[in-house]
């Protein structure tokens, strides 16, 4: 019987009630007294020098309160980058300034030039149109390889070139890798593009700045995955506001997928402007604005080579990747193609020698940063595509080739600097083969062919590194922050608990799953535990939610804090029962003395802590509240095997996903319903990347896919019912819950399965095709079929 409460139960989500009745409170639902509205005048040119800005006419328009330009931000910090990568020569990356409002130059379509604050949204927009800006157009650099050619126009005049860094990993392996390639019996080479994506959480970004003159305190309400990180970056690096004078609130947030991690200019602007005009200032992005101002994701161009010996063992792997940074360095941009990508290049395989080269490039495009998976999907895609191509070239079964090269012993130290603690890749593959009914594929293919369609099957594995940490390691790798998480558990006198966590929920269901853990530890009803998150004034510190880290890192912090609570409560219980602390046991919310029938209820102990009439005041303080910071000792390593079956209409090139099966190993599971839902969403995003989505610029830097009219979002008709299983569980060995993280797996593991399946389908029809770049749109598939 599945559990009906606690760890492992599919508890229904308590937050759903407010979302289903329209009672959710998103940032755009917040309206403050006296609020003014800002509209940003954005560059419609990809690259240019601002020669003049005349705001005089606009300033006189109805409702205009004040107009800001880059000049208002001189002497104020720019938007900081949170990660410094060191290049293969040991030099720090090139790091350009990133002003809140453009100063001197515009560097991408959407770069904010001026901001009009007015009484209404429409008045602000009306006035923005009346600002006269003269810009001398400069040639735009869009293509990454062209951008690093000698003599290419420079995005930043003060940098030596458009190359942010040229990273080699592991540089010491390079010679040995070369040697292995020379000795190889077979080398498979694949050039591919990991398409640029727009995260597109359904809630566009919003910021509301507020300033309290009495306390000299600023408050920012924002659509963020990590309000504490915003408080730190904006307070310390941009506006110079100490943390005790700055409150950042991220209330209900309508999806993030990475793009709401970063600190954006609009947040700093609203906070700054609220103080400047002494009124709340609100900004709500339109979807069109989101396309040209939210950080994009992916955008890698890679050549990957796999060396095999005569027995088809992988002997070496090398890659060369161009990674687009866009026009500025977004908060975590430099880490994505390097530490979140290079360290995953071993995948599930015991390839002994690996060398990864990444050239990060500035272009006149929107900044690129983490999007669901961040670096790991790029690594997985290359690796799993090149393995399929190798199997094709060698005429061997792609599953057998993978199995032959699986890592089977743990812990396993990869040649790319990480140590996998646990995993069982054969087990997930076995599960997948069963779920996906691979035995029935031939019959299904024959049935498709009878209807004039091509059917293909694609299988792949993935590994990811979640719960990014530990701090002392990431510090060495260039992170400018610690990556722990904090939790405060406050027990009320009546026995209820409030857990204040630095993890942030923007769809993940923390309000439901976190109490499952705490309630089980104490043996009380889940309804007695309340989760508070998303407000820096309520939660002491936090690093937020990204990299599938909430349960692995945030959850572990909660466990540690709760352990402290239980320890103190046992001391109180021992006193109340006049027993030795060592003899106190806690079960089902009752403290009892081992070997006796003496017991005292959880609630009575909590009451004693706050009404300490009979209390060990000489031993411990009254009250029951504890804080813990948890800094993990390693990443966690979820893994899995995915299978996709597609049908291709050779007349039109349209691909239909007929079946999708996912067998994941997430270690221990807190709420299976929520975990399954996370995988579903990831799969749709991965299928979206593979078949539909692509942010495309023309050679002048105009974004052609700048709305849902041209950027294809997956709809209900584009995906099937998925088969998802997470019964293969190798618990993480280094966190107290044995959990691994599940938020990104679906998006990491699915694109290669889809592409492998389409290539398989086309080849079954007689095509010699070996690769098609994503998205595999009908037009591209049809063109590929034409040869």
Using CB under 8 A as the binding rule, the residues of this chain from 620 to 659 that contact other proteins are 651-654
When the beta carbons of 2 and 595 are compared against other proteins, the nearer one is: 2
**Of 214, 709, 768, 787, which one interacts with other proteins (CB under 8 A)?**
709
Could you say whether residue 18 binds other proteins (CB under 8 A)?
yes
- Per CB under 8 A, the list member of 149, 408, 596, 707 interacting with other proteins is 707
| Options 396, 481, 712, 769; binder of other proteins; rule CB under 8 A | 712
Q: How far apart are CA 280 and CA 35, in angstroms?
A: 5
In whole angstroms, how close is the CB of 574 to other proteins at the nearest point?
A: 42
> Which residues between 656 and 675 bind other proteins (CB under 8 A)?
673-674
- 596: contact with other proteins by CB under 8 A: no
Residue 684 interacts with other proteins (CB under 8 A): yes or no: yes
DSSP run (H or E) holding 541: none
Number of amino acids touching other proteins (CB under 8 A): 81
Q: How many residues does the chain have?
A: 787
Residue 534 interacting with other proteins (CB under 8 A): no
724 contributes a contact to other proteins by CB under 8 A = yes
Choosing from 696, 700, 736, 767, the residue that interacts with other proteins (CB under 8 A) is 696
Alpha carbons 512 and 539: distance in angstroms, whole number: 18
- Going across the sheet that includes 584-587, the strands are 584-587, 590-593, 599-601
| Contact status: 451 vs other proteins (CB under 8 A) | no
18/183 with CB nearer other proteins: 18
CB of 509 to other proteins, least distance (A): 7
Q: Name the minimum Å distance from CB 123 to other proteins.
A: 10
Q: Tell me if 313 contacts other proteins by CB under 8 A.
A: no
CA distances from 758 to 531, 655, 776 (A): 44, 8, 8
The yes or no reply on residue 22 touching other proteins (CB under 8 A) is yes
Q: Based on CB atoms, which residue is closest to other proteins, 255 or 603?
A: 255
Tell me: does residue 769 bind other proteins (CB under 8 A). no
Of 549-557, 628-636, 639-647, 711-719, which part binds other proteins (CB under 8 A)? Answer: 711-719
Window 327-386: residues binding other proteins (CB under 8 A): none
Contacts of 3 (CB under 8 A, 6+ apart): 9
Are 96 and 328 a contacting pair, CB within 8 Å? yes
User: Which listed range, 95-103, 328-336, 598-606, 710-718, lies at the site for other proteins (CB under 8 A)?
Assistant: 710-718
Is 508 a binding residue for other proteins by CB under 8 A? The answer is yes
Examine residue 57 and tell whether it contacts other proteins (CB under 8 A).
no
Evaluate whether 628 touches 499 at the Cβ level (below 8 Å).
no
Closer residue to other proteins (CB): 54 or 651: 651
CB nearer to other proteins: pick between 202 and 214 = 202
**What minimum distance in Å lies between the beta carbon of 557 and other proteins?**
23
Residue from 43, 556, 685, 735 in contact with other proteins (CB under 8 A): 685
**Stretch near other proteins under the rule CB under 8 A, chosen from 77-85, 174-182, 601-609, 721-729:** 721-729
Residue 142, burial from CB neighbour count under 10 angstroms (0-12, 13-18, 19+) = buried
Q: Which residues contact 393 (CB under 8 A, 6 or more apart)?
A: 186, 188
Tell me whether residue 109 or residue 474 sits nearer to other proteins (CB atom).
109
Kind of pairing, strands 217-222 and 246-249? Answer: parallel
For residue 365, is the peptide bond before it cis, meaning its omega torsion is within 30 degrees of 0?
A: no
Question: Using CB under 8 A, which residues numbered 24 to 43 contact other proteins?
Answer: 24-26, 28-29, 31
Residues 237-256 contacting other proteins, CB under 8 A: 252-255
Q: Which is nearer to other proteins, 723 or 767 (CB)?
A: 723
Cα radius of gyration rounded to whole Å, the chain:
27
Residue by residue, DSSP assigns 601-654 as: EHHHHHHHHHSTTSS-TTTS-S--EEEEEE--SS-B--EEEEEEEEEE-TTT--
Quick check: 4 binds other proteins (CB under 8 A)?
no
* Distance of alpha carbon 436 from alpha carbon 17, whole angstroms: 35
By the 8 A CB rule, do 84 and 16 touch? no
Q: By C-beta, is 199 or 606 nearer to other proteins?
A: 199
Q: Residue 662: helix, strand or coil by DSSP?
A: strand
Regarding 450 and contact with other proteins (CB under 8 A), the answer is no
Q: Which of 16, 216, 525, 588 binds other proteins (CB under 8 A)?
A: 16
Binding pattern to other proteins, positions 111-130, x when CB under 8 A?
-----------x--xx--x-
Question: Taking CB under 8 A as the rule, which mask of x and - marks residues 487-506 in contact with other proteins?
Answer: -------------------x
Q: Is 545 in the site for other proteins (CB under 8 A)?
A: no
Q: Is 537 helix (H, G, I), strand (E, B) or coil?
A: coil
Q: Does 23 bind other proteins (CB under 8 A)?
A: yes
Give the single-character DSSP code of 297: B
Closest CA to 755 of 661, 689, 670: 689
Counting Cα atoms < 13 Å in the Cβ hemisphere of 445 gives: 20
Helical segments of 545-600, H only: 555-576
Those residues with Cβ within 8 angstroms of residue 129's Cβ, 6 or more apart along the chain or in another chain = 58
Binders of other proteins among residues 733 to 752 (CB under 8 A) are 746
The yes or no reply on residue 286 touching other proteins (CB under 8 A) is yes
**Nearest Cα to Cα of residue 483 among 372, 334, 630:** 630
| DSSP-derived pairing of the beta strands 639-648 and 497-501 | unpaired
> What are the C-alpha distances in Å from 402 to residues 314, 356, 425, 665, 775?
10, 21, 10, 17, 25
- Among 197, 88, 155, 168, CA closest to 362: 155
Binding flag, residue 19, other proteins (CB under 8 A): yes
């Amino acid at each position: 019987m599945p559990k009906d409460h606690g760890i492992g139960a599919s508890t229904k989500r308590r937050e759903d009630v407010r979302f289903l009745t329209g009672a959710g409170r998103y940032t755009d639902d917040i309206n403050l007294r006296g609020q003014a509205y800002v509209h940003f005048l954005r560059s419609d040119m990809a690259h240019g020098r601002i020669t003049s800005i005349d705001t005089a006419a606009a300033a006189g328009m109805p409702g205009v309160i004040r107009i800001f330009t880059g000049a208002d931000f001189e002497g104020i910090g720019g938007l900081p980058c949170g990660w410094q990568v060191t290049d293969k020569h040991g030099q720090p990356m090139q790091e350009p300034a990133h002003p809140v409002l453009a100063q001197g130059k515009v560097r991408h379509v959407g770069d904010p030039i001026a901001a009009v604050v007015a009484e209404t949204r429409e008045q602000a927009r009306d006035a923005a149109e009346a600002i006269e800006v003269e810009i001398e157009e400069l040639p735009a650099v869009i293509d990454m390889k062209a951008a690093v050619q000698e003599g290419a126009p420079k995005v930043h005049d003060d940098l030596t070139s458009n190359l942010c860094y040229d990273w080699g990993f592991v540089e010491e392996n390079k010679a040995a890798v070369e040697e292995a390639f020379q000795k190889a019996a077979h080398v498979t080479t694949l050039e591919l593009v990991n398409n640029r994506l727009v995260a597109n959480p359904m809630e566009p970004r919003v910021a509301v700045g507020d300033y309290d003159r009495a306390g000299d305190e600023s408050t920012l309400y924002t659509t963020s995955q990590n309000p504490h990180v915003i408080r730190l970056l904006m307070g310390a690096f941009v506006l110079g506001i100490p943390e005790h004078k700055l409150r950042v609130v991220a209330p209900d947030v309508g999806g993030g997928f990475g793009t709401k991690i970063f600190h954006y200019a609009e947040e700093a602007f609203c906070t700054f402007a609220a103080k400047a005009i002494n009124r709340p200032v609100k900004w709500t992005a339109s979807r069109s604005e989101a396309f040209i101002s939210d950080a994009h994701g992916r955008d890698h161009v890679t050549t990957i080579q796999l060396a095999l010996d005569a027995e088809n063992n992988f002997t070496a792997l090398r890659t060369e990747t161009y990674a687009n940074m866009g026009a500025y360095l977004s908060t975590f941009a430099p880490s994505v193609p390097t530490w979140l990508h290079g360290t995953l290049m071993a995948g599930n395989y015991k390839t002994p020698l690996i060398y990864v080269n990444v050239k990060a490039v500035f272009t006149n495009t929107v900044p690129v940063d983490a999007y669901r998976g961040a670096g790991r999907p790029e690594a997985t895609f290359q690796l799993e595509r090149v393995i399929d191509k190798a199997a094709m070239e060698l005429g061997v079964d792609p599953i057998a080739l993978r199995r032959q090269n699986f890592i089977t012993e743990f812990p396993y130290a990869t040649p790319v600097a990480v140590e996998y603690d646990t995993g069982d890749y054969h087990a997930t593959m076995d599960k997948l083969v069963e779920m996906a009914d691979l035995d029935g594929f031939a019959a299904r293919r024959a049935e498709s062919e009878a209807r004039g369609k091509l059917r293909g099957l694609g299988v792949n594995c993935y590994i990811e590194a979640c719960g990014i940490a530990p701090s002392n390691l990431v510090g060495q790798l260039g992170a400018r922050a610690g990556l722990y998480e904090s939790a405060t558990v406050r027990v009320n006198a009546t026995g209820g608990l409030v857990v204040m966590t630095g993890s942030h929920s923007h769809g993940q269901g923390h309000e439901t799953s976190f109490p499952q853990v705490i309630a089980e530890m104490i043996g009380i009803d889940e309804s007695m535990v309340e989760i508070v998150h998303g407000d820096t004034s309520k939660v002491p510190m936090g690093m937020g939610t990204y990299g599938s880290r909430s349960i692995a890192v945030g959850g572990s912090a909660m466990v540690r804090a709760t352990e402290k609570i239980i320890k103190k409560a046992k001391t109180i219980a021992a006193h109340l029962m006049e027993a030795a602390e060592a003899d106190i046991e806690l079960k089902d919310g009752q403290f009892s003395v081992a070997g006796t029938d003496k017991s005292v209820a959880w609630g009575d102990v909590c009451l004693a802590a706050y009404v300490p009439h009979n209390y060990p005041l000489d031993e411990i303080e009254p009250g029951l509240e504890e804080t813990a910071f948890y800094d993990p000792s390693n990443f966690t390593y979820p893994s899995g095997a995915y299978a996709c079956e597609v049908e291709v209409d050779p007349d039109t090139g349209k691909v239909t996903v007929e079946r999708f099966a996912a067998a994941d190993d997430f270690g221990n599971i807190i709420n299976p319903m929520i975990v399954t839902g996370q995988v579903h969403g990831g799969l749709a995003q991965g299928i979206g990347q593979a078949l539909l989505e692509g942010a495309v610029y023309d050679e002048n830097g105009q974004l052609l896919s700048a709305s849902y009219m041209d950027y294809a979002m997956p709809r209900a008709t584009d995906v099937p019912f998925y088969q998802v299983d997470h019964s293969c569980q190798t618990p993480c060995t280094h966190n107290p819950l044995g959990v691994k993280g599940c938020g990104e797996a679906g998006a990491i593991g699915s694109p290669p399965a889809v592409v492998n399946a389409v290539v398989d389908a086309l080849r079954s029809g007689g095509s010699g095709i070996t690769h098609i770049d994503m998205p595999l749109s009908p037009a591209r598939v049809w063109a590929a079929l034409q040869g």
